[in-house]
Amino acid sequence: MSEDWEFDKTEEAEEEEQDVINYQISSYPADITLKGYEDKWDKKQITIPDFQRNYVWDQVKASKLIESFLLGLPVPGVFLYKDRSTNKLAVIDGQQRILSAIRFFKNEFDEKIFRLKNVLPKWEGKTYLELDEPDRFQLDDTVLRATVVQQLDPADDSSIYHIFERLNTGGINLNPMEIRKCVYFGKLFDKLEELNENPKWRKIIAKEKVDKRLRDVELVLRILSLYENWESYSKPMKGFLNRFMASIKKLPDDELEEKLDYFTDKFKSACDVISDSLPNKPFHLRGRINYAAMDSIFVAVMRMDDVPNNIDERYSSLVNDDDFIRSATLNTSDESTLHARFSRARKILAE
C-alpha cells in the first residue's frame, strides 16, 4: 500500500482504541444437505457477496472434496449471513466448498463436464449421474454444516459489520470499505463508485487509476457523510461512516433518489471549484494526502452558497493557519478537534 493511502498515524491508533463493540447478533448451526445447497442456489436464496474472490479451485481439488463427501470424511463447515428482511443467505466463508458440490450436481466445470479426477478407481472419471445409486444418495444426504449469523435488531447493521470484519473471508483480510460493500450494498454504494470516477476528483487526489481496495471510494464516503452532518460527528470515524451508510440505505426509494442527486450536484460542483481554483494536489500537505484537511476543506466548499473570487488566497491562508494545521494533524478523529478544523475552514474560506 502506498503512503498516499495511509491514515494519519494518530487517527489510525485512535480508531483502534475507540472501536468498542456491542454485539447485537445471534448465530445458530444449520445442518444443510448438499442437495439443499443446490436447491437454495437455484432459488437464488444463497448469494456470493461482491467482496468474495471468484471460484478458484481446479477440477482435481473439487474432485477431492466430492471424494471426501463420498467417503464420509469430515469437511469444515461454512459461514452464512442471513438477511432478516429477505431471508437470503450470503456466503461469508465456504464459497469453494459450496460451489464445488453444486457444480458436480449440475455436471459442469467451467465449460467442461465435471468428471471426478484423481480419486479412488471406483469413482474415477464419473459424473454425478454415473455414480451408483447408493453413492448418489450418500452425496445428496451429506450434511455440510453451516453457522448462520443474523442481526438481532434489523435497524442496526453495526454488529454484522464487525462479524464480517473479524472473519477472514477466503484468505483475504477485508478493509472497512470492502466490508461496507457487502453490508451496505445498494444505490448509495453505486453512487459512491460513480463519483469516485469523476475526472476532477481523480486529479485532486492525484490518483489516475481507481483503487482496487476501495480506499478512494471511502474518501468520497467520508466527504459526503461529514457534509451531511459533521456537527453531530462522534468517534470513531469508522462507526460514523457506517451509521451514515445505514441511514441512507433505509430511505424510501423516492427520497433516496433525491438525496443521491443532491449529493452528486454538490460533490461535482466542489470538485470543479477545488480542481480549477486551488493548487495542484491541494490536500497533500506533507507529501501524502491529509484526510483531515481534505474533509474540512471539501465540506466548506460544498456548503458555500457563493464561491469567493479570492478562494485561492483564502486557501493559502488556511493551510498556513496554525490552529487549522494543528487540528488537521493531531488527534484528528476527536470530536473537539474535528469540530475545530471544520469551523476554522468555514471561517477562513467562506466568511
Q: What's residue 100's pLDDT? A: 97
- The pLDDT value recorded for residue 180 is 86
- In this predicted structure, what is the pLDDT of residue 27? 84
pLDDT above 50 for 219: yes
Mean pLDDT of 21-43: 87
CA 153 to chain centre: 21
All cell numbers assigned to 167 = 472473519
Once rounded to an integer, what is the mean pLDDT over residues 9-31? 61
Give the Å distances, CA to CA, from 259 to 75, 89, 157, 228, 348: 47, 29, 21, 10, 28
What is the pLDDT of the chain when averaged over all its residues? 88
What is the distance between the alpha carbons of residues 32 and 143, in angstroms, rounded to a whole number? Answer: 5
pLDDT at 52 over 70: no
Judge whether residue 13 has pLDDT over 50.
no
- Residue 104: alpha-carbon gap to chain centroid: 31
Q: CA-CA distance, 184 to 337, in Å (whole number)?
A: 28
Domain boundaries along the sequence of the chain: 3-21+174-350, 25-151
**171 vs 96: CA distance, rounded Å:** 12
- pLDDT of 3 reads 42
Task: Kindly report, residue by residue over 163-179, the tens digit of the pLDDT.
Answer: 676 665 555 567 888 88
Is the pLDDT higher at 91 or at 21? 91
Q: How confident is the model at residue 161 (pLDDT cuts 50, 70, 90)?
A: confident
Predicted confidence (pLDDT) at residue 320 exceeds the cutoff of 90? yes
C-alpha to C-alpha distance for 65 and 56, rounded to whole angstroms: 14
Structural contact between residues 146 and 78, judged by C-beta atoms closer than 8 angstroms: yes
The pLDDT of 318-338, averaged and rounded, is: 95
- Listing DSSP states for 74-116 in one string gives ----EEEEE-TTT--EEEEE-HHHHHHHHHHHHT-BTTB----
pLDDT of residue 1: 39
Judge whether residue 201 has pLDDT over 70: yes
Q: pLDDT tens digit string along 274-293?
A: 999 999 999 998 888 999 99
The pLDDT > 70 percentage for the chain reads 86
Which segment of 137-141, 150-154, 239-243 scores lowest on mean pLDDT? 150-154
Tell me which long-range contacts 57-64 makes (C-beta under 8 A, separation of at least 24): 57/96, 57/100, 59/109, 59/112, 59/114, 59/117, 60/117, 60/118, 61/100, 62/96, 62/100, 62/103, 62/104, 62/109, 62/114, 63/116, 63/117, 63/118, 63/119, 64/118, 64/119
Residue 279 is given by DSSP the state: P
How large is the average pLDDT for residues 188-199? 96
